[in-house]
Each structure stands twice: as C-alpha cells, then as structure tokens.
Structure 1
Amino acid sequence: MKKLPPLNAMKAFEVAARSGSFTLAAGELGVSSAAVSQHVRNLEAYFGKQLFLRNGNRITMTDAGHAIYPQTSRALDDIAAVTSRILEGELRPRLVVSVPFSLAEAWLVPRLSGLVDRDPRIAIDIRVEDDPIDLARHDIDLRVSYGDYHYPGLKVMRLVHDEVTPVCSPEFWHRHVPPGGNLGDFHPSAFIHTHWGPTYASHPTWSDWFRHAGMGLRPDPAHGRRVGLSSLAISAARSGLGIALAQRALARPDLEAGRLISLSSVSLKLGHAYCAFLPSAKPVRDEIEVLLALLQA
C-alpha cells in the first residue's frame, strides 16, 4: 500500500500556504487557528522538515514548504474535481492526447472544436511533448507522431501525409518581389528555414524544393531566417519576416483567410506521414473514434 501523509494535515497546510495565514486558513476550513497550527506541526513531524517560518501572526513558507506545495495543491484539486463529478453523477474519463510541439496549436486545437461541438462537457488533456513517450505509463489515450517508427507494437493509424509549399504574407510579396520576378529572384535572406533538430533528416529543405521545381536557386540557411518549428515558420511568414516552406495542413487557415498567399503550385511531400498511436491494452472509446475521424479529415 502506498504511504500517504495525514490528509487532514495536508489540507490544512495547503490552505495555510495559499492564504498565507493560519487564521485565514481556519476560517476557510471552519476550525480554530490552533487546530490548523497543530495539523501543520503534525505534517512537519511526519516529513521531518519545517514547512513554515512563524513570525507572530505571519507565516512564510520555507524551501521545504515550497517544494511540496505545488503537487499538494494539484492533488487536492484533483480529489475535489473527482468528488464533484461523483456527487453530480457524472464521473467521466478524461481524454488525454499527446502531440509534438509543431502540431498542437495550429493543427490539433482547431480540430478539437468538432469533438467539443459533439460533447461540450468532454474533459480533454492536451500534452505537448517530444517523442518517444511511454503511453501506458503516462495514461495517454492517443499520441500523434511524425512517422510510424517510434512506437512498435501499438495500434497505429495513418492521419495525413502533409506537403510543403512556399508561402508569405501579401504585404511581403508586394513589397519585395522584383517587377516580373519569381521566387528564384529573391536574395537568400528572404527565406525562412525550418530546422527540425539533429534527430530528423527527412524534412524537405528549400534546396529540395527548388530542385523539385526545376530552379537553380539553393538558399543558404546561414543567410536567411531559421526557426525550430513548422508552426513558427508559418507565424514568421504571416508576420512578414520572409518566405516559408510551409506545411499545407498547418497553413491552410491562414491561406483561406488571406493572411498568407501561396507562391507556387509546386509542393513537396514530407518524408513521412503523421500517424496516431493508441495503447494496445486500452479499448478505443467513442470520443477517440470521433477525434481520429476529425484528424484524418
């Protein structure tokens, strides 16, 4: 059995730490300030650490108090939330979705709106993290990843094999394009390069795109702008910082709204498709089926 500190003492500590006063904590808990002080002393004896510095009626958390307060507060909040849902007769599982940094804001969040429209009270936890992730250990229902090689043995579903295409803001194009010019006429400093990091080698570069388009330009990243996320490259282009080789799935809202313009009909596929991974031991809940359909659309 897991060893736990006295929970009443933990609650007294959390309220005192949050309010900064034994007296205020006593008022919130409906007990005397002496009772709060005794609970805190019991907890200090349990941990063998002093949690507050006492100066008359004032208290200040020690380093030990600061160390345990955040997790204590979150744990009590979770217990309160579960209690509330049980009492309301609506205890429901939380949908935990894990995605890479580049996909979270520009790609995943807009697609979750369809899931929320279907069930406005659904509980969703979006975790933004790099591969690899232990889905079972962290209780993740669905992981989206670039490529299908990170999670052997898990259920896998192909979502989208995205492609890149040159984009920029309308203002940047009208301000910088030479009369009658094209992409090959731009100085290397006009190009935004996406650097995926040392573990990736399959993402298309500007040199790959120009070669595919039959043009001789080979922009040097040393003379341009370089960013570490595909979504950040799109944001930089939208802000007028240059021309990005943007993923269509991420840039589509900006293209449709006119915040970005496509500069060529030539596109180049990414080295791998984005895939969804699901723990083999977990049943696929209805809301996950709906989300998978939204992510594939």
Structure 2
Amino acid sequence: MQTRPPFDALIAFDAALRLGSMTLAAGELGVTQSAVSHRIRRLEAFMGTALLLRRNAGLAPTPAGAALAEGLTALLDDLAGLRSRCRAADAPDNLRVGVGAALAGNWLVRRLPGFAAACPGIAIELAVVENEAQAHAPDIDLRILWVPAAEARSTSTQRPLFQECVFPVCHPALLPAAFVPGDPALLSTLPLLHKGPAGRGTGAEWSWAAWLDRLGLPPRPGDTLRFATIGTAIAAALEGAGAVLARSMLVHDALADGRLVRLLPDGWDMPSSKVHVLRWPAALSGDDRVRRFAAWLVERTAETAAAP
C-alpha cells in the first residue's frame, strides 16, 4: 500500500494553487495542462478528498487543500535546504544568491565588491531568476524576492529589505533647458514607456493612465511603447527612448549619476504594492555566511533608501 503522496503531484498542486491556473502551472513545470490536471487528480485520489475548486476567477483551495498547502510550503523549503546542506559540506564558503535581472543589473552588482572586501572568505555566486520556478530552484541558497507587503516580516528565514516608490523618470537629453521637476504638462509631450503587455492587471502605480489622471492630463491611448520587463523599460529610458515609471531602487544610481532625471517632485511618488525580502531555507537559519550576507544587504538597502 502506498503511504507517501506522489511527489510530482505535490509539485503540480503547489504550482497550480500558487499561480491560480492549470495552464500557468503547466508552463512553469514544462508539461502539458492535461498532465498537471492528471497529477492533481492522482493526488486527490491519494488524499481521498478534493483539494482544488475550479472557479471562473481561477483555482481556490478546499479546506483540505488549504491544510495541505500550509504544510507543503514548509516541506518544499526543507527539501531545498537539503542541497544547501550538501553544498555547505563540499564548498562551505560559497553562497548562491538568486535575484531578478533588473535589481541585479541596476543596483546589486555595483555593490557586491563591497561585500567581497568586507567578507573576503565568502564567495558569492549571483544567479539571475525571472520566474517562480527559477527562484525556488534547489541550488539557490538565498533569494531576493518581491512579495506582497503582508508577507514582508522578519523571521528566522527572512529579512525585509525595502519597499520602493514608483515615479516617472527620463533621460536628461529629452528635457528643455533649465528644467525643474514639477511641470506635469511635460508628460503630454514625451514618449511613454511601460512594462508588461497591455491589459495585464497591475497596481495603479504602474499605470500611465492612472498617473495622467492624477496629474489632470488627457489620456494617451496607443502612445505607449511596451517592454516585457521593468529592466528593459529602464534600459530604453537610459537610451533616451522616453519616460518610464520606475521603481526607486532600480533608478537610484542612474539618478545619482545624472543618467536619468525625475520628472516630478517626490510628493507625487506612489508606493509599490510589493516589498523586497531576502529569504533562505530553514536549514541555513544558523549559517554564519547567511547571517553576514543578510546583515550586509540590509545595511546597503538602508543606505540607499536614506540617500537623496
């Protein structure tokens, strides 16, 4: 008699519930939608009860599914920690850190030499992650994640880093002589750059329509250049392609260097709906390398947030 649940079915259940969609789960796992559905049905047969409710708005857990999900998150984190323990035995001074491309390229990479100087015995291997599957890969020791504000609390496996503000910036070459931030009318004349495909649900802070409405400016239908990620949108702004709604941490250095310019005073800033955190497996909670890197990263983010 089988006493252990099918592991591939647990992974499929976690992905489907987390993403709210069989189709999105299939894309993350690299299998077909029918394969995800089959695995979840197999898990439900093993558990002897329904685990997911199929609704028009997406998937939702049954009471049994919610109970399974609560324990499964801790289980998967513990499993990820197994590889960290093995790697620590073979290469005790190395840490593999997963981070998004935009934060890595626009902020973290520039500061890593400072960590190398402060902690010369700890080697950092930076891994760029762009989706949930990559962020939860078992070879990642620490992850810098962008999570809802309600999840951003200090625990034995997590440190909050920063909540960014969103505001419009552009290349100084696009601005008139003697420009002073504060004239909203300028946004009626600049090309607008935006991240993500049209129609995708995002917070108001990322909507040019919401910003133009706040500023009392007419809408600009069809006038937005779109980019897949915030990193590419900022890269386009750095090349003078137009104004972009940018997160404060990602453009901090470009503003300090004069490569980008704020278009509005900071009183217009909108807070991001998400917060960056540093997270690691429970198996590494007492690891001195993790403690030192976390302390260093918290200090650097505090310095950046405090800088004008």
- TM superposition score normalised by structure 2: 0.56
CA distance in 1: counterparts of 2:175 and 2:141, whole angstroms: 43
Partner of 1:147: 147
- Shift in CA distance, 138/170, structure 1 to aligned 2, threshold 3 Å: same
Partner of 1:210: 212
2:168 aligns to what SS in structure 1?
Answer: strand
Higher radius of gyration, 1 or 2 = 1
2:253 aligns to what SS in structure 1?
Answer: helix
Is the CA contact (8 Å cut-off) linking 2:188 and 2:217 kept in structure 1?
no
- Pairing of 1:145-294 with structure 2 (within 5 A): 145-148=145-148, 155-174=157-176, 182-187=183-188, 190-195=191-196, 201-202=202-203, 204-212=206-214, 214-220=215-221, 222-265=222-265, 266-294=268-296
- Shift in CA distance, 111/290, structure 1 to aligned 2, threshold 3 Å: farther
Q: Which one-letter code corresponds to 1:142 in the other structure?
A: L
Note the C-alpha offset of 1:260. Answer: 1.1
What does the per-residue CA deviation read over 1:193-229, in whole Å, with 9 as the maximum and x for residues that have no partner? 11179876236222233344x4233333x32221122
2:176 aligns to what SS in structure 1?
Answer: helix
Deviates more, 1:266-275 or 1:137-146: 137-146
RMSD of Structure 2 on Structure 1 (CA): 3.5
CA distance in 1: counterparts of 2:107 and 2:269, whole angstroms: 19
Note the C-alpha offset of 1:280. Answer: 1.4
Q: Quick check: 1:103 aligned with 2:103?
A: yes
What does the per-residue CA deviation read over 1:268-290, in whole Å, with 9 as the maximum and x for residues that have no partner? 11111112221112234333233
Note the C-alpha offset of 1:181. Answer: 9.6
User: Normalized per residue, which structure has more helix?
Assistant: 2
1:103 aligns to what SS in structure 2?
Answer: helix
Partner of 2:123: 123
1:226 aligns to what SS in structure 2?
Answer: strand
Q: Which one-letter code corresponds to 2:253 in the other structure?
A: P
1:165 aligns to what SS in structure 2?
Answer: strand
CA distance in 1: counterparts of 2:130 and 2:138, whole angstroms: 14
Q: Which one-letter code corresponds to 1:171 in the other structure?
A: A
- Shift in CA distance, 162/197, structure 1 to aligned 2, threshold 3 Å: farther
- Pairing of 1:18-29 with structure 2 (within 5 A): none
CA distance in 2: counterparts of 1:196 and 1:277, whole angstroms: 29
2:130 aligns to what SS in structure 1?
Answer: coil
What does the per-residue CA deviation read over 1:142-164, in whole Å, with 9 as the maximum and x for residues that have no partner? 1111115899x982322111111
Q: Percent identity?
A: 26
CA distance in 2: counterparts of 1:181 and 1:158, whole angstroms: 32
- TM superposition score normalised by structure 1: 0.58
Is the CA contact (8 Å cut-off) linking 2:159 and 2:278 kept in structure 1?
yes
1:219 aligns to what SS in structure 2?
Answer: coil
- Shift in CA distance, 217/288, structure 1 to aligned 2, threshold 3 Å: farther
Note the C-alpha offset of 1:295. Answer: 3.1
CA distance in 2: counterparts of 1:218 and 1:210, whole angstroms: 6
Q: Which one-letter code corresponds to 1:278 in the other structure?
A: W
2:284 aligns to what SS in structure 1?
Answer: coil
Structure 1, gaps ≥5 residues long: 1-81
Q: Which one-letter code corresponds to 1:194 in the other structure?
A: K
- Shift in CA distance, 145/200, structure 1 to aligned 2, threshold 3 Å: farther
Q: Which one-letter code corresponds to 1:102 in the other structure?
A: A
Is the CA contact (8 Å cut-off) linking 1:111 and 1:295 kept in structure 2?
no
Q: Which one-letter code corresponds to 1:286 in the other structure?
A: D
1:102 aligns to what SS in structure 2?
Answer: helix
- Shift in CA distance, 134/279, structure 1 to aligned 2, threshold 3 Å: farther
